[in-house]
C-alpha cells in the first residue's frame, strides 16, 4: 500500500481563511525540507496559484464530480509516492454542494482540520466547531484553527468549550497586512503579486509562532523537525502492486500508517493549546486522528496514476493508449489574460500524444504554427487594449479558423473573440470579431456552478464562474446541466471549427471527446469564418 500523512483543510463557509492556513502549513513544512503536495477541492484557478507557490509543486484539482473517484484516487496515489505531507484545501463550507468537501474526506478517509474566523465570537466558537465535528459520522474532524483572534485572552475564550477530542490546533492573530488583494473573481493572480513569496513566508512565520506555544508532543509540524522526527508518520510505498480498491482507506477511524495501524496527526496526546489545557492521557473517545492516506497505484489505465476517469467514475482509456493526438501541435494562450488552466488538462493533452505549445498574447508573442488552439478563461476585460494592439493576433486567429483548424474558447477566451467587450468601468473595446456578439462586465455575479454538457462527441464536465453577460445571434448546439439544481446552465456554441462556451471544461472528464475535437475529426462545420479582415 501507499501511505502518506494527509489532511483536508475546510471551514464552515468561504472567507474563513482556508487558503491562508493551507498555504502557511505548506510553506512552513517546505522550509523545513519536507516534500509537500497540495490539492484543491472543487473548481478553482486562483487559490491553486498561491498554493503552488507555497508548496513548490503544481496543484491539481480533486473533484468527485468533474474527475470522478478513480481519477482523484490516482492523483492522490501519485502524490503519496513522492510526498512527506499531503494537504487538500476544501471548497466553500465543509458540507456545501454535491459533492462536498466532506464527501471527498469520507471517500478517502482524510482527517479534517476546520478553520473558523473567530474575530467576532468567543465561546460560540466551540459550539460551531463541535457541531461541525458531529454533523456527519463518516468523517473525522481532527482539530480546529481559530483564525483572526484579537489577543491571547481571546484565544483562551474561543477554546474553553471545546471537547477534549476536538483540539484547538492553532490560534492565529488578526493582522490586516497578511491579506492578499482581491478582485471580482477572487484573489489577484499569483503571477501579478511580486511580493507573494515574502507574504507566504510571513504566513508561515505566523503559523510557526502559533505552533511554538503548543506543547512539544502536540504540534502539527515539529519546530525545526523533519518528517522522520515529527509526530507525522513518514510516507512510504510498501507495496508497488497494491490493490487500490482494498487500500483506499475507507475505514472511518483514520488512515493506515506504514505499519498498518492508525497514527495521531497532531501528536500523541489530545490537547487544547490556546485554552491552556493540560494534555490528557489517551486519545479520547474517538481514538487518535487518522494521519495517513493509504492508496494503491491508481487504475490500470496505461497512462500512470493520474488516471483519466470520466466524471461518473468510468474509465475511457483506449484512445489514450492509441495516442490519437500524436503529431498534433496544440497551442494554448497562457499569461495573465488567459490563465484559467487546469494542470490536468495539459497533462491529458500530452498523454493523448499532442505537442503542447504555450504563447503569451499580452507580451506580443505570435500564435505558434499549430493544428489546434485553446483560448482558456482569464481577464480579457483587463487586457483588452493590449490584445487589440497586438499587430497580428486577431488576424492570426482568423486565419486559423479559416483553415478549419479546431479552436476551443472558454469564458474569457470566448469574450476575446466577440465583436465588442465592455469592461467594468463601462469602456467598450472592439475585439477580434470572430464570433458575433458582445459582452459586458457587471458588478453582480452572473453565473456560478458545476456544469455537465453534452458535446457532439460525448459528455464533458466543468464549471462556470463569471461576472459578464453576453448576447450572440448564434444558436447554441447544447445547454449544460447543473448537478446542484442551480440556475447556471451555460450554452455551447459552434461556428465552423470554433467551439465556445462560458464553461471551463475539465478535459479528463472525457478524454475521448477532447481527443476527437482537438484531432479535428468531429467539430461541427457551421457558417465558416470569412478570411477577410473586418
Tell me what pLDDT residue 183 has.
Answer: 40
CA angle 114, 117, 123 (to 5 degrees): 90
Residue 374 reports pLDDT greater than 70: yes
Residue 246 reports pLDDT greater than 50: no
Could you tell me the CA-to-CA distances from 149 to 170, 210, 326 in Å, in that order? 10, 12, 55
Strands (E), 291-419: 292-295, 329-333, 338-340, 355-359, 372-375, 377-378, 407-410
Identify the CATH number of the domain defined by range 6-213. 3.40.50.300
Residue 527 reports pLDDT greater than 70: no
- In this structure, the chain runs to a length of 534
Assign domain 329-518 one CATH number from 3.30.360.10, 3.20.20.150, 3.20.20.70, 3.40.50.880. Answer: 3.40.50.880
Tell me what the mean pLDDT of segment 258-279 comes to. 29
Query: Which regions of the chain carry the CATH code 3.40.50.880?
Result: 329-518
Tell me what pLDDT residue 192 has.
Answer: 54
Residue 450 reports pLDDT greater than 80: yes
Tell me what pLDDT residue 42 has.
Answer: 82
The answer to whether 126 and 162 are in contact (CB under 8 A) is yes
Kindly indicate the confidence band of residue 2, based on its pLDDT and cuts at 50, 70 and 90.
low
Strands 372-375 and 407-410: parallel
**Residue 411: active-site member:** yes
Tell me what pLDDT residue 176 has.
Answer: 63
Handedness of CA 64, 70, 71, 74 (dihedral sign): positive
Residue 137 reports pLDDT greater than 90: yes
pLDDT higher for 176 or 100?
Answer: 100
Tell me what pLDDT residue 341 has.
Answer: 92
Tell me what pLDDT residue 181 has.
Answer: 52
Could you tell me the CA-to-CA distances from 350 to 82, 324, 325, 509 in Å, in that order? 21, 11, 8, 15
Kindly indicate the confidence band of residue 414, based on its pLDDT and cuts at 50, 70 and 90.
very high
Tell me what the mean pLDDT of segment 171-181 comes to. 70
pTM of the entire structure?
0.80
Tell me which of 72, 292, 337, 411 is the catalytic residue: 411
Residue 532 reports pLDDT greater than 70: no
Q: What is the pLDDT of residues 27-78, one digit of tens each?
A: 999 998 999 999 999 887 778 888 998 899 999 999 999 999 999 999 999 9
Query: Which regions of the chain carry the CATH code 3.40.50.300?
Result: 6-213
Handedness of CA 371, 410, 93, 202 (dihedral sign): positive
* Separation CA 320–CA 300 (nearest Å): 12
Residue 382 reports pLDDT greater than 60: yes
Residue 226 reports pLDDT greater than 50: yes
Query: Cis before residue 210, ω within 30 degrees of 0?
Result: no
Residue 397 reports pLDDT greater than 90: yes
Q: Looking at the DSSP assignment, which residues form a beta bridge with residue 37?
A: 86
Amino acid at each position: 500500500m501507499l501511505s502518506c500523512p494527509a489532511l483536508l483543510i475546510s471551514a464552515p463557509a468561504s472567507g474563513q481563511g482556508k487558503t491562508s492556513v493551507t498555504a502557511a502549513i505548506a510553506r512552513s513544512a517546505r522550509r523545513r525540507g519536507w516534500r509537500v503536495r497540495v490539492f484543491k477541492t472543487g473548481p478553482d484557478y486562483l487559490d491553486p496559484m498561491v498554493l503552488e507557490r507555497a508548496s513548490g509543486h503544481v496543484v491539481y484539482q480533486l473533484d468527485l464530480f468533474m474527475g470522478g473517484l478513480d481519477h482523484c484516487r490516482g492523483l492522490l496515489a501519485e502524490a503519496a509516492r513522492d510526498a512527506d505531507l499531503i494537504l487538500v484545501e476544501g471548497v466553500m463550507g465543509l458540507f456545501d454542494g454535491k459533492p462536498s468537501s466532506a464527501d471527498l474526506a469520507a471517500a478517502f478517509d482524510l482527517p479534517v482540520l476546520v478553520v473558523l474566523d473567530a474575530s467576532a465570537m468567543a465561546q460560540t466558537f466551540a459550539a460551531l466547531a463541535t457541531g461541525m465535528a458531529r454533523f456527519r459520522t463518516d468523517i473525522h474532524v481532527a482539530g480546529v484553527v481559530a483564525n483572526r483572534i484579537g489577543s491571547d485572552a481571546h484565544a483562551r475564550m474561543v477554546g474553553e468549550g471545546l471537547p477534549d477530542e476536538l483540539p484547538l490546533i492553532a490560534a492565529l492573530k488578526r493582522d490586516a497586512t497578511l491579506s492578499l488583494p482581491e478582485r471580482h473573481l477572487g484573489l489577484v493572480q499569483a503571477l501579478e503579486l511580486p511580493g507573494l513569496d515574502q507574504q507566504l513566508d510571513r504566513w508561515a512565520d505566523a503559523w510557526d509562532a502559533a505552533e511554538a506555544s503548543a506543547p512539544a508532543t502536540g504540534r502539527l509540524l515539529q519546530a525545526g523537525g523533519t518528517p522522520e522526527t515529527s509526530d507525522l508518520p513518514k510516507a512510504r510505498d510498501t507495496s508497488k502492486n497494491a490493490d487500490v480498491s482494498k487500500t483506499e482507506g475507507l475505514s472511518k477511524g483514520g488512515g493506515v500508517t506504514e505499519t498498518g495501524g492508525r497514527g495521531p496527526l497532531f501528536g500523541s496526546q489530545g490537547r487544547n493549546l490556546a485554552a491552556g489545557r493540560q494534555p490528557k492521557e489517551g486519545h479520547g473517545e474517538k481514538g487518535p486522528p487518522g494521519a495517513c492516506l493509504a492508496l494503491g497505484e491508481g487504475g490500470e489505465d496505461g497512462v500512470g496514476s493520474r488516471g483519466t476517469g470520466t466524471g461518473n467514475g468510468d474509465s475511457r482509456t483506449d484512445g489514450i493508449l492509441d495516442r490519437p493526438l500524436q503529431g498534433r501541435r496544440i497551442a494554448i494562450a497562457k499569461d495573465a489574460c488567459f490563465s484559467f488552466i487546469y494542470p490536468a488538462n495539459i497533462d491529458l493533452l500530452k498523454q493523448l500524444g499532442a505537442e503542447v505549445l504555450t504563447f503569451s498574447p499580452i507580451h506580443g508573442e505570435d500564435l505558434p504554427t499549430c493544428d489546434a488552439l485553446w483560448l482558456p478563461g482569464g481577464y480579457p476585460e483587463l487586457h483588452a487594449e493590449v490584445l487589440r494592439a497586438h499587430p497580428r493576433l486577431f488576424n492570426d486567429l482568423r486565419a486559423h479558423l479559416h483553415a478549419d483548424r479546431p479552436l476551443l474558447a472558454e469564458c474569457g477566451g470566448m469574450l476575446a473573440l466577440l465583436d465588442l467587450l465592455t469592461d467594468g468601468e463601462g469602456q467598450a473595446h472592439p475585439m477580434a470579431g470572430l464570433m458575433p456578439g458582445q459582452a459586458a462586465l457587471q458588478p453582480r455575479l452572473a453565473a456560478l456552478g458545476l456544469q455537465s454538457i453534452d458535446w457532439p462527441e460525448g459528455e464533458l464536465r466543468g464549471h462556470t464562474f463569471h461576472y459578464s453577460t453576453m448576447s450572440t445571434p448564434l444558436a447554441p448546439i447544447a445547454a449544460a446541466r447543473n448537478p446542484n439544481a442551480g440556475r447556471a446552465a451555460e450554452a455551447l456554441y459552434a461556428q465552423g471549427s470554433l467551439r465556445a462556451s462560458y464553461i471551463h471544461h475539465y478535459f479528463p472528464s472525457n478524454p475521448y471527446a477532447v481527443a476527437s475535437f482537438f484531432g479535428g475529426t468531429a467539430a461541427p462545420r457551421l457558417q465558416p469564418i470569412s478570411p477577410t479582415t473586418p
